A and B are shown apart, each in its own frame.
Chain A
Amino acid sequence: MRHYELDDADVAVIVGSGPGGASLALRLARAGLDVVMLESGRWIDPEDFVDDERIAFAQLSWLEARQATGGWTLARDFPALPAWNGHAVGGTALLWTGLTPRFKDHEFRTRSSYGEIAGASLADWPIDPAELAPYYAESERAMGVSHREGRPPMPANTSYRVFANGAERVGYRHYATGPYATNVEPYDGRPGTIQDGFNSQGDRRRSKWTPLVSEIPKAIATERFELRPESHAVRITLDAAGRADGVEYLDRDGVLRRQRAALVAVAGNAIETPRLLLLSATTGHERGLGNASDHLGRHYMRHTTGVVYGQFPDEVHMYRGENMAGIVADESRHDPERGFAGGYYLETISQGLPSFTTFMEPGGWGADFTARVEGYTRTAASWICGEDLPQPGNRVTLSSTLVDRWGLPAPEVHYDDHPNDVAMREHAYGRVEAMFRAVGAERVWRAPAMPSGHNLGTARMSADPADGVVDPEGRVHGVPNLFVSDGSVFTTGAAANPTLTIMALSLRQGDRIVDARRRGER
């Protein structure tokens, strides 16, 4: 792998190796830019992944100090784990399952489509959906998404058979096993899935797309890229002209280093990205970089979610096969007649016994709980993934009391459900219950949100610097060579699982950066 010196001032420094950062890195390196990637977590080879929920959770998860506050159920059920992020090369993609719906056009224009909603900070995205379309297609190709461009659909596993039959019987039309970013057949040098049921444990087989098995090795092969794992960014520095000129980070020995930079892109996810920008407060940016208009960390979104479980007279064995290869899109529309704005997807979810007993009724116990545990092999489940509304008070801030292992202020994640979120979740719960009952469920029950991998909106994109943190290219307002390259930039969250859109935005951003360099702009 190429090596760059700390005082090499002509490199692009990218913080974070998840889908956003890795896609940008490969784009820039292939265009001839020199790229240094700082990743807080370790390099873990896929063959060292472990098909055990507890062991893999400890191996792959971001477990630094965090605090959930607010009215959401996470603050009650999992106060130290508001979100479930990866902490290794590949980022949260190591944990994701792989559904890749695109945004709908109107979801880029929610303020116009939904109108004014009290308490919500809705805004239209400052980009044209048509411009993103080719980047969506390219992202699907990069991930090898099933059901697209002749790639075969994922076959139906047991969970999907329950889910899709239920959907059909309640009258839904738009159910399918994807699009899903795991190989059905060999693609891009990676094999087809063996349906082992451990997507969220990294995927030993490498059938699931992650940057660890795709963009990162490809970037290394360009000889224009250096990956530095176990390098935790703590501050972005600015020069006298107000341009980003370096990133300070703690290496694996806890030694503070500084990599000089020609440009900096932050892709640490919607919790760590605003934290780093807040920690980088300096003269002229006293409230943090990009925070002149007080939007940094605000408008945190994490999707309106919940799980419905159904228990059947016959066996399901949900642990077999891909963990989320099933989606119903009929309710993803915006239809105010349902009593709320925006839409939601219903998606299959399968859990091993440890996760099932953790999440199916957080805090539950007693004979009624164990009766449901006894029915584990006869259980199917569906996860709700709906658009939650941005609210300025839902925000990531620096804790005044809690610090991480490096002694830095930990992120505090505050979230209150909007009434629209509550109405949507209630509607979705009822629909899944109807689906499961329609195929013979003897019992159905609802479970609250789990720590989310979908973390969005805390560096929102806006045309006007007064309305957000980054411009339509993801460039931080007020710092011309500082970019955000992850889900933090989402102006609104849409109903779709976000990874595909994060990648599409990064590829587009990469092209803009390369074009500007070629024009001689710096």
Chain B
Amino acid sequence: MTEDQPASPAPGATASTLLALARALYPHDRLPDGPYERAVALLAADAAASAELSALVAAGAAEAGAALGDPAAATAEARTAWLESHQGEPFFAFVRERICFHLYDDREVWQLLGYPGPSYALGGYLHRGFDELPWLPDPRVVESDEPLVELGPLDPSVASAASAASAASAAAASTGAEATA
């Protein structure tokens, strides 16, 4: 959504609670409040489409507000802990999905995260770096001349290279050297 997209605002206390939750759901230090505020406003507009959703959001925000005191003043840890304890509930599911949907569709967020969006009017990337990757060699683009094995194992030299790389990958994962989701 564009920065100036109108959307119905949530009532004050609900909006400030949702804003605090939105920041806890998708924390980006680099992002100002504007994108989060717009995401919350769009969420509120989505909820306004149904009385059931409106009630769900109002009740969930009230519960979070009561639990956290002033949500805006609560620590990030407290907000995250509240969210963790409410995962799987309809309020959490709705707010998480809508904030994720709207926040990452915000042009200011795209700009800050480096996603340029449409490129057609600029001639695509044909002459603007679609092939620019200086840190790796130029790979072959045509198909290999070697016969493709269709049945049975690969040639042993290929298989050993592939399985060695796989084993290294598994080892890296099992040592916890890299977090994986």
Q: Which residues of A contact B (CB under 8 A)?
A: 51-52, 54, 104-106, 113, 147, 153-158, 160-162, 164-165, 168-178, 193-198, 204-205, 312, 314, 316-317, 319-321, 329-330, 332-335, 337, 352-354, 356-358, 361, 363-370, 372-374, 376-377, 430-431, 433-435, 437-440, 442-446
9 smallest beta-carbon distances between A and B, as pairs:
A171-B161, A194-B124, A196-B124, A164-B139, A321-B130, A51-B118, A195-B130, A353-B115, A170-B165
What distance in Å separates the Cβ of A380 from its nearest Cβ neighbour in chain B? 10
| Partner among B104, B139, B178 whose Cβ is within 8 Å of the Cβ of A373 | B104
CA distance A358 to B131 in the complex (A): 26
Contact A171 B150 (CB under 8 A): no
**Is B51's beta carbon under 8 Å from chain A?**
no
Say whether B151 contacts A430, CB under 8 Å. Answer: no
Contacting residues, chain A, for B125 (C-beta < 8 A): 157, 194-197, 320-321
Q: Which residues of A contact B136 (CB under 8 A)?
A: 161-162, 165, 439
Kindly list chain B residues whose C-beta atoms are within 8 Å of the C-beta of A178: 143
Asked if residues B181 and A171 are in contact (CB atoms below 8 Å), the reply is no
Q: Are A430 and B166 interface neighbours, CB within 8 A?
A: yes
Report 16 cross-chain contacts, Cβ distance below 8 Å, ordered by A residue: A160-B139, A162-B133, A164-B141, A170-B165, A194-B125, A314-B135, A317-B132, A335-B153, A335-B154, A358-B101, A361-B181, A376-B113, A434-B168, A443-B179, A443-B180, A446-B181
Whether, in the assembled complex, B67 has its beta carbon less than 8 Å from a beta carbon of chain A, the answer is: no
Query: Cβ of B139 and Cβ of A165 under 8 Å apart?
Result: yes
Q: Is the CB of A158 within 8 A of B130?
A: yes
The contact of A170 among B109, B141, B166, by CB within 8 Å, is: B166
Q: Most chain-B Cβ atoms within 10 A of its Cβ — which of A170, A365, A439?
A: A365
On whether the beta carbons of A376 and B158 are closer than 8 Å, the reply is: no
Contact B117 A157 (CB under 8 A): no
Interfacial chain A residues near B123, Cβ < 8 Å:
194
Closest residue of chain A to B138, judged by CB? A156
Cross-chain contact of A153 among B130, B142, B178, B180 (Cβ < 8 A): B142
- Find out whether the CB atom of A358 lies under 8 angstroms from the CB atom of B100: yes
A435 to B166, CA, bound (A): 8
Decide if B150 touches A333 in the complex (CB within 8 Å).
Answer: yes
**Residues of chain B with a CB closer than 8 A to A445's CB:** 180-181
Kindly name the residue among A173, A177, A329, A369 whose own CB sees the greatest number of chain B CB atoms within 10 A.
A173
Interface size class of B (residues with CB under 8 A): 35 or more
Interface assignment of B78: CB less than 8 Å from any CB of chain A: no
Q: Is B25's CB under 8 angstroms from A365's CB? A: yes
Chain B contacts for A354, CB-based, 8 A: 101, 104-105
User: B57: shortest Cβ distance to chain A, in Å?
Assistant: 17
Minimal Cβ-Cβ distance residue in A for B115: A353
- Of A105, A161, A330, A369, the residue contacting B154 (CB under 8 A) is A330
Contacts of B173 in A (CB 8 A): 433
Residues of B within 8 A of A317 (CB): 114, 129, 132
Once the chains are docked, how many angstroms separate the CA of A158 from the CA of B139? 11
B5 an interface residue at 8 Å Cβ cutoff? Answer: no
CB under 8 Å from chain A, chain B span 21-68 = 25-28, 30
Q: Which of B109, B116, B132, B143 has the most CB of A within 10 A?
A: B143
Chain A residues, CB < 8 A from B178: 442-444
Q: What residues on A are CB-neighbors of B12 within 8 Å?
A: none
The yes or no answer to B137 lying at the interface (CB within 8 A) is yes
Quick check: is B15 within 8 A (CB to CB) of the other chain? no
Contacts of A440 in B (CB 8 A): 135
Residues A168 and B139 in contact, CB atoms below 8 Å apart: yes
CB–CB B119/A196 < 8 A:
yes
* Interface pair B110/A353, CB less than 8 Å apart: yes
List of B residues within 8 angstroms of A438 by Cβ: 165
Alpha-carbon separation in the docked complex, A106 to B109 (Å)? 49
B143-181 interface bits toward A, Cβ cutoff 8 Å, 1 = contact, 0 = none:
110101111111001111110011011101100001111
